[in-house]
Structure 1
Amino acid sequence: MSDELTPMMKQYKSLKKEYDDCILFFRLGDFYEVFEKDAKIAARLLDIALTSRNKGSDGDIPMAGVPAKSASSYIATLIEKGHKVAVCEQMEDASEASGLVDRDVVRVITPGTIIEDEMLPENKNNYLASIFIQGDNYGFSFLDISTGEFSVTEVSEFETISDEIDRLEPSEIIIEERLKDMDDWQDIIKNRDFQVSEAEGFKVKEAEDLVEDFFQINSLQAFGCEEMKAGLAAAAEIISYSRETQKQTLDHIKSLNPYNVYDYMVLDAATRRNLELTETIRKKKQSGSLMSVLDKTVNSMGSRLLRKWINRPLLDSDEIKARHEAVENLLGDFVKSEKLQNLLASVYDLERLQSKISYDTINPRDMGALRSSLEIIPDIIDLLNNFNSPYIEEIKDNIDTMDNLRALLKKALVEEPPHSPKEGGLIREGFNDRLDELRSSQKEAKDWIANLQPKERERTGIDSLKVGFNKVFGYYIEVTNANLDKVPDNYTRKQTLSNSERYIIPELKEKEAAVLGAEEKINDLEYDLFCELREKAGDNLSRLKNTARQLARLDVLLSFSRTALENDYCRPEIKQDDLITITRGRHPVVEEMVDVDFVPNHTRLDRESNRFLIITGPNMSGKSTYLRQVALIVLMAQIGSFVPADSARIGVVDRIFTRVGASDDLSTGQSTFMVEMNEVSNIVNNATENSLIILDEVGRGTSTYDGLSIAWAVSKYLNSPQKVGARTLFATHYHELTELARNEEGVKNLNVLVEEKENDIEFLYQIEPGSAEESYGIEVAKLAGLPSEIIQEAQNMLTRLEEQQKYSSQSMSTFKDNAEESLNSGYAPGQLQFFDVNSGSQNEHDQIIEEIKNVNVNNTTPLQALELLHKLKQRAAGNS
């Protein structure tokens, strides 16, 4: 067999060489075919048959294929598995091609450049991000190519980039090559699910020129980002990458929006995770998160915007108040608010529709959705005239009715347009004279053909005569064999069947030509008219994008008002000071999940006498819920939502920090305690006096007194106005920490009330001043269903430990009375004893310890070691 490839395979290999990092979907008629190594990958991941192409001189080449009509689902699977897909189309009609059909790659689909509805989540943005370095600064930019949202920022600390990645959850990130070996970057990519591409990057002037050229502007001052040199490098790379992969103009990307991360409340990854803002910790689902409670939006645009607001609370008290006033305004006339929601529910996803217009992928059905959406907008504006808050009036004034486009689409499109733009039936009668003429002539011919059968039956006397049509022979007259003697002379035989003959007549062929010729012309003309409509819609992209943004804002505000009404939330008072007071506050998620009435609690925090609140009480009593509810109420207030409380006054918080629980991080080799200490370190190094800190246990991952000592020192540091002085809630089982309230100004003790009933306890979930006396851990273990044997053993051990008066040379009571002096002197009490050291004399015990110290391990055989262990065990038990 010759080593020469067929022309088609040469064409394939030439394209594959250019897109070697992609799986190449090669169009062959109604299928996309993949070859060689791509075929093996696709067959395995897509569960499709792996065959081979071994005709002619190509040899045995692995091959697999998928139908072009259903290709999106297969491409989506490959993207999910971490691959890029290059889509190669036939650039000419195969029937008109002279020789080999011209083919070319029309688009490269990557995780960050998906625009297909069926491949995108409705209520979540799909971001392509980039990170580049210029001097001492890091540039960060991100684009949602499906909506045209394009933003850029610049920071001096890489840790901030990590927070932005956690906030946005991009599906793909482009990084500068020199970043890949940085330890900070390696920390980011662990346990995160996004695809990474590397690039050399642009020089400053090159980046500036590229951005200006893309947006056709003379100066970057038009966007206010001219000083962001590193940010522009990141933005330029996104533009370059998008052009390279999409291979067409991206007209729906209208601006580059610079932002400062410090203009919003900073939320690090731990805080987002621990507060379960958009997904739960365990199941990674929206259900059970704050988002699930607040998301009563009726439109995908609104749901995506709500997610952004939750992840980016405001700091500007005036802007926060404006949102609150709008929510209150909507609550004031809930009948009209409900009508607004019903109207918004009928508006399609305009953000993603405008990207389809830009890509020329919008179909007639989508265009019909655009038309119906535009028809609803005037009614929305009429209803908005009933509300007078400045925020709502701003929304109303910026909604564009696009009257000309709406009127054009209404006149042009049929009531229910088809999906395909090339099969006709999408343009209304009366819109185009030439189209009406063609349809009229086609109708006349069809009517003549429809009347031919009864006429010929009457003329020939053949009652069974039929007029039919097929794609091979066209229209025909069919006569059964029993009536062949009645066939007129002007019938020309066309086809012989087993029981009949098929004929044609000149008039029938003439009308057939009129029908089929008109149909082809009609379909071609309708497609041309549709393309003109698409161009007209493209002229309105900026207006469409801005209107989509306003409708999304309105949807979120209506969602807030509905949630407030249904859940009995109050409007919080917002101040630019340090006081936080919450009357009968509730946890927004927990109260929806429990079957009993949620027990509300009060909170008062400031930077003076109520700066550091220590909460003690048993497990399962509600300490963690209380901590989180305070943080969530503050966050909800600062995104513009009403809050679950009877009343609330919120002094604006610049950051919320949380340290809640801990677990081993096996991917980085960090123990529970190390993870905990890293989180604490982040807090003490980055918190300001305007922050809110939530600590749910500190120091529990090490020995009791190590942990207590660390918790004591951290508490003093955070409470100190000279060090941090942030408003802090600290839940702990270290009752010794309550001693801080004696000598430290700003520290207050709170505890969760518990009612003891004989041998059982009842949690009251009520937070009151004071400290808890007991932990009730064994009682909680009993409630959890531990076997009674374990419970009894634990109770016996607790009794023994409580009877011990000394740990080394100083009692715990002495430690509590002199805690500060002990810690400052470096003293820590000894380890708790789980075995009765009084079974032998103290001297005997010391001798055993000394003997163990003197053992020469290197010169001890295994047998000697066992004998020594047995002897020591007997002596320790008092049996020597």
Structure 2
Amino acid sequence: MPQKTKETPMMQQYLDMKKENPDAFLLYRVGDFYEMFYDDAIKGSQILELTLTSRNKKADDDIPMCGVPHRAIQGYIDTLVDKGYKVAICDQLEDPKLAEGMVKRGITRIVTPGTVMDESANTATENNYITSIVYEKNRFGLAYADLSTGEVKVTSVNNSMDLMNELQNLSTKESVVSKSFPQKYADPIKRLGIIVSTIEELDDNFTYDYSRITEELQVTTVKTLISYLMETQMRSLDHLKSAETYKTTAYLSMDHTAQSNLELFKNLRTNKKSGTLLWLLDETKTAMGGRLLKQWLSRPLLNQSELEKRQHILQVFMDNYFQRLSFQDYLTKVYDLERLAGRVAYGTVNGRDLIQLKTSLEQVPKIKEILLDIGDYDLNSYVEQIDEVSDVRDLIEKAVVDEPPISITGGGVIKEGYNEQLDKYTDASKNGKKWIAELRAHEQEVTGISNLKIGYNKVFGYYIEVTKSNIEKVPEGRYTRKQTLTNAERYITPELKDKESLILEAEDKSQALEHQLFADIRKSVKEQIRRIQALANILSQLDVLQSFAVISETYHYVAPKFVDGHSLNIVNGRHPVVEKVLSNNSYIPNDVFFDDKTDILLITGPNMSGKSTYMRQMALTVIMAQIGCFVPAESATMPIFDHIFTRIGAADDLISGDSTFMVEMREANDALKNATKNSLIIFDEIGRGTATYDGMALAQAIIEYIDKHVKAMTMFSTHYHELTELESQLPGVKNVHVDASEEDGTLVFLHKVLSGPADKSYGIHVAKLAGLPEEVLSRADTILSSLEDTAPKHIKVEEVKSKPVVESTSSDVEKINDSANEESQLSLFPEVGVTPKKLNKGERKVVTELQNQDLMGVTPIDAINLLYKWQKELK
């Protein structure tokens, strides 16, 4: 940029503001446009597809610039913020007509990804959380807020892994930290695509209710967040609720990977809501109910009495069908009370917003009447908390017209009869315009000019317009020429100018008074924000519960029964999402059974047979039960789980640079370290990311560790059929398999889970279904027969001694692999006392080659070829 001494006063003002906001696009108001200059203009023109021009085209210090109309500014701000940028808005702080010298300007708001007040139809049921993080004594404070709804919550976690998981679960776009926040923790946050904003100092001048927070670390964390919001928003934030503390351990815990694997919120294939559990459960009628449903789904409960209360209300809604329909009808007319309250406090509410608020409040008495008519005790406890906020409803009904304009500055918002002075101004304006119309008719009659017009513009005010062909009819002395046009002349008269003054004075005073009246109404509503937010909270809870009732009734779900102990019995359970997608009653239900002695279901069966669906079905049933919904089963008895761990699918961790197998081992290690006997573990094909015998050894060691130490309910699917021998050796292991059959050489999936192990994997049959060439399939059959003739027929627990995993690092995986190799790799041949001395010359040659072969250094296909060669030599 050029030296400041060369700049005009206006550009000097711009540079000073840009210096204060170096990390934001500065939109600088000049007349009817917001302009960008220098680097902002160059980059902004590319992002926003604007024409790049310059301020001083002929000068040596040419200044790049581009601009957008002030009326269209919001769309451009949204585009920049959606792409992860901050935007500083510089407005004119005084009327240019009244300014002496350069117009005063100032930053009126800084819009960031975490502070967008986005309320489009596509995001109505989404929260936009901004977070703050404070690091102190090896612990992290984490607070989050949704600026549009006023929600504020805070917690503390003991390690960076839990912190990163919570940030991902919140889908935050921006985190606020202090200058002293360690860079080693900030960098991984940035790699998640989260903007890390730094705040210089905390604001102690903002009055905020910290009474519900007892931990100093959490107080500092909330203060950090509030200070940043005050710094960027520069206006009242009275709608922010008192910060509510929570503990992640108070809910059924699921990390971000588990939520993703189970497709709670996003479909793994499309990355959209369709095909997820949220998609299935969402029959809410309000935007705030939709947001609450997602929050409940993120944090299922551990409190049995609260769950049973939700179940009871759900059943009440199911039992009262017609009242439920009426309740739903009224709910659909309730607008987003949380965000309406936010706009009131924020100062952006307009007349239409207030009519939406009034319409919503008009439904509340009807809703109360319907709920009281049902007559249930627990439901009435909700009804008793419903405040009709009738004073706000009545105020808006009395003050605001039914169909107000969007703008609050142009008049037409306040009802006639609300303010006597405003009515006088309105009457004067109306009568003046009536006088104008009468004057036009009179002048047409007196002059004989039938097309004589009376018009108005801001420059000349009211005028009489006469076409050139009628100029000779203009009365001399009474009309004064004011403007000449191509085809007409414009005149004024003393009477017209006098009436103009009265009309314009009435209009100006009317608009000013009306704007002040609207501000007073907004202030009165603002004083009742807490009541409106409390009403929104109750209605959103009831909305979610009626949604559960609709889903449970539609798909014939049942109320799960919660029991103490370590047993679970789901009879004819179904995968809720798959069942809905099929929609033709073709889903095959399956039982899931754990008794007090069973910790691990070892699941075998061919690919595509439904093993993964069966396990996900179990996890989704648990989640549905622990948010208070009924579940897809004929009956269900289960304990309350504290944690769900998953290891499903194959994916690299691009952020940390870990391989698929390392990710698999990290997730397995997380479960082994943190699961309790009250947890649910879902392991799908553990060990497949490495060599066959390494993988089998690891799988067995993990099963043994869970059986001996963890005791969590575990569903463990595998293609290692040798592991099914563990049922006879470990007391907590039980074999089940997904059934399939062969019909004329063709594999038929039956999707039915039965006791016992699968007889084989049917891998080649699946390859045939995929369309592999016949030559490949035939050769695979031959090799398979060879391998089955030489492979071990059984497996022993003592063959692989597992060691507990203590840290999630690459060295841990090496230790496990070393353990599996050193403490006896699975033998290729059964140990029957045969040694090289007892073999003939050819057999000794094969064994010698085998002993000298570097098995870890050959590819799978080379290993198969070696086996084939040795088999031929032995024969």
Match of 1:828 in 2: 825
Q: Assess, with a 3 A threshold, how the Cα gap between structure 1 residues 464 and 561 changes in structure 2: closer, same or farther.
A: same
User: Which residue type is aligned with residue 477 of structure 1?
Assistant: I
Greater mean deviation of Cα atoms: 306-315 or 13-22: 13-22
Separation in structure 1 between the aligned mates of residue 80 and residue 34 of structure 2, nearest angstrom: 14
TM-fit CA distance, 1:541: 1.1
2:154 — aligned with what?
152
Per the normalisation by structure 1, the TM-score is 0.89
Q: Does 1:598 align with 2:576?
A: no
Q: Does the Cα contact within 8 Å between 2:560 and 2:630 map onto a contact in 1? A: yes
Within the alignment, does 1:744 sit opposite 2:730 as a pair?
yes
Query: What's 1:91 paired with?
Result: 93
1:676 counterpart = 2:664: yes
What residue is the counterpart of 2:103 in the other structure?
101
Deviation at 1:70, TM superposition (A): 1.6
8 Å CA contact retained: 1:180, 1:186:
no
Match of 1:536 among 512, 521, 524: 524
Q: Does 1:375 align with 2:362?
A: yes
Q: Is the 8 A contact 1:4 1:58 kept in 2?
A: no
State the one-letter code of the partner of 1:462: I
Say whether the 8 Å CA contact 2:697–2:800 is kept in structure 1. no
Q: Report the secondary structure of 2:95's partner residue.
A: coil
Shift of 1:177: 5.0
Amino acid across the alignment from 1:123: T
Matching residue of 2:195: 195
Aligned pairs (5 A) from 1:690-729: 690-720=678-708, 723-729=709-715
The answer (yes or no) to whether the contact 1:120–1:126 under 8 Å persists in 2 is no
1:325 touches 1:389 (CA, 8 Å); kept in 2? no
Amino acid at match of 1:370: L
Please say if 1:484 is aligned against 2:484: no
1:105 is paired with a residue whose SS is strand
Contact persistence 2:189–2:196 (CA under 8 A) = no
Distance in 1 (alpha carbons) for counterparts of 2:489 and 2:382: 71
Which residue of structure 2 aligns with residue 860 of structure 1? none
Picking from 303, 327, 336, the partner of 2:323 is: 336
Q: In structure 2, what is the Cα distance between the partners aligned to 1:769 and 1:410?
A: 67
For residues 831 and 87 of structure 1, the distance between their equivalents in structure 2, rounded to whole angstroms, comes to 72
- What's the CA shift string for 1:551-572, capped at 9, x where partnerless? 2111111111111122221122
Kindly state the Cα deviation for residue 58 of structure 1 after the two structures are TM-superposed: 9.1
- 1:759 counterpart residue number: 745
Conservation of the 8 A alpha-carbon contact between 1:151 and 1:259: yes
Q: CA deviation at 1:719?
A: 1.9
Q: Which residue identity is paired with 1:529?
A: L
2:301 partner letter: L
Structure 1 residue 678: deviation in Å?
Answer: 0.7
* Aligned residue number for residue 15 of structure 1: 17
CA shift for structure 1 position 14: 1.1
Moved more, 500-509 or 555-564: 500-509
Answer yes or no: is 1:812 the counterpart of 2:767: no
Contact 1:693 1:729 in 2 (8 A): yes
Aligned to 1:865: none
C-alpha contact (below 8 Å) 2:199/2:228 kept by paired residues: no
CA contact (8 A) 2:677 2:713 kept: yes
SS of match in other structure, 1:398: coil
Residue 638 (structure 1) shift:
0.3
Runs of at least 5 residues in structure 1 that lack an aligned partner in the other structure: 806-810, 833-837, 854-872
Q: Structure 1 pair 44/186, CA: closer, same or farther in 2 (3 Å)? A: same
Amino acid at match of 2:729: N
Residue identity matched to 2:126: K
Q: Establish whether residue 526 from structure 1 lines up as the match of residue 523 from structure 2.
A: no
- Return the offset for 1:716: 1.5
| 633, 651, 666: which one aligns with 2:621 | 633
Which amino acid in 2 is paired with 1:812? P
SS at match of 1:665: coil
Tell me, in whole angstroms, the C-alpha distance in 1 between the residues paired with 2:15 and 2:633: 66
Cα drift, residue 595 of structure 1: 5.3
- State the alpha-carbon separation in 2 of the partners of residues 850 and 571 from structure 1: 60
Q: Contact (CA 8 Å) 1:582, 1:648: kept in 2 or not? A: yes
Query: Structure 1 pair 847/763, CA: closer, same or farther in 2 (3 Å)?
Result: closer
Q: Which runs of 5+ in 2 are unaligned?
A: 803-821, 830-838, 855-867
User: Matches of 2:608 and 2:412 in 1, distance apart?
Assistant: 65
Cα displacement (A) at 1:626: 0.6
Query: What does residue 112 of structure 2 align with?
Result: 110
Q: Structure 1 CA distance, aligned partners of 2:488 and 2:178?
A: 75
Write the distance in 1 (CA, Å) between the matches of 2:472 and 2:63: 59
User: What amino acid sits opposite 1:31 in the alignment?
Assistant: F
The letter for the 1-side match of 2:88 is A
Match of 1:503 among 491, 498, 504: 491
Q: TM-score scaled to structure 2, two decimals?
A: 0.90
Query: Does the aligned pair in 1 maintain the 2:686–2:718 contact within 8 Å?
Result: yes
Which string of whole-angstrom CA distances, capped at 9 and with x for unpartnered residues, describes residues 628-670 of structure 1?
1011001101001111111112210011111112223344332
- What displacement does 1:750 show? 0.8
1:771 equivalenced with 2:773 (yes/no): no
What corresponds to 1:274 in structure 2?
261
Task: Give the SS at the match of 2:140.
Answer: strand
Q: Distance in 1 between matches of 2:170 and 2:379?
A: 27
Give the Cα separation in 2 of the matches to 1:66 and 1:303. 35
2:437 maps to 1:447: no
The match for 1:35 is 37
Moved over 6 A (4+): 55-58, 846-853, 873-878
Amino acid paired to 2:529:
L
* Cα gap change, 1:800 to 1:153, in 2 (>3 Å): same
Match of 1:262 among 235, 238, 249: 249
More displaced stretch, 170-179 vs 617-626: 170-179
CA gap 1:176/1:792 in 2 versus in 1, 3 angstroms:
farther
Tell whether the 8 Å contact from 1:132 to 1:201 is kept in structure 2 after alignment. no
Match of 2:720 among 721, 734, 744: 734
Conserved in 1, the CA contact under 8 Å of 2:726 and 2:797?
no
- CA distance in 2: counterparts of 1:874 and 1:780, whole angstroms: 27
Partner of 2:78: 76
Tell me, yes or no, if structure 1 residue 456 matches structure 2 residue 453: no
CA contact (8 A) 2:323 2:374 kept: no
Contact kept, 8 Å, 1:575 with 1:651, in 2: the verdict is yes
Q: Distance in 2 between matches of 1:252 and 1:819?
A: 62
Equivalent residue number for residue 866 of structure 1: none
Letter in 2 for 1:196: V
C-alpha contact 1:357 1:537 (8 A) present in aligned 2:
yes
CA deviation vs aligned residue, 1:319-378 (integer Å, no higher than 9, x gap): 001111111111111222122222222211111111111111112221221122122222
Cross-structure match for 2:563: 575
Cα separation, 1, equivalents of 2:531 and 2:467: 65
Would the aligned equivalents of 2:186 and 2:196 in 1 still touch at CA under 8 Å? no
**Counterpart residue identity of residue 377, structure 1:** V
Is the CA contact 1:569–1:646 (under 8 Å) kept in the aligned structure 2? yes
Deviation at 1:795, TM superposition (A): 2.1
Q: Deviations over 1:501-549 (max 9, x none)?
A: 3333322222222222211111111111110111011101111111111
Indicate whether 1:406 and 2:393 are aligned: yes
> Helix, strand or coil for the counterpart of 1:283?
coil
Q: Is the 8 A contact 1:583 1:603 kept in 2?
A: yes
Separation (CA, whole Å) in 1 of partners of 2:461 and 2:375? 66
Q: How far apart are 1:103 and its partner, in Å? A: 0.4
Q: 2: CA distance between counterparts of 1:405 and 1:441?
A: 31
Structure 1 residues 579, 4: closer, same or farther in 2, change over 3 A?
A: same
Specify the SS of the correspondent of 2:384.
Answer: helix
The CA deviation at 1:487 is 2.7
Deviation of the 1:877 alpha carbon: 11
**1:384 Cα deviation (Å)?**
1.8
For the pair 1:130 / 2:132, whether they are aligned, the reply is: yes
**Does the CA-based 8 Å contact 1:278-1:290 persist in structure 2?**
yes
Identical columns (%): 42
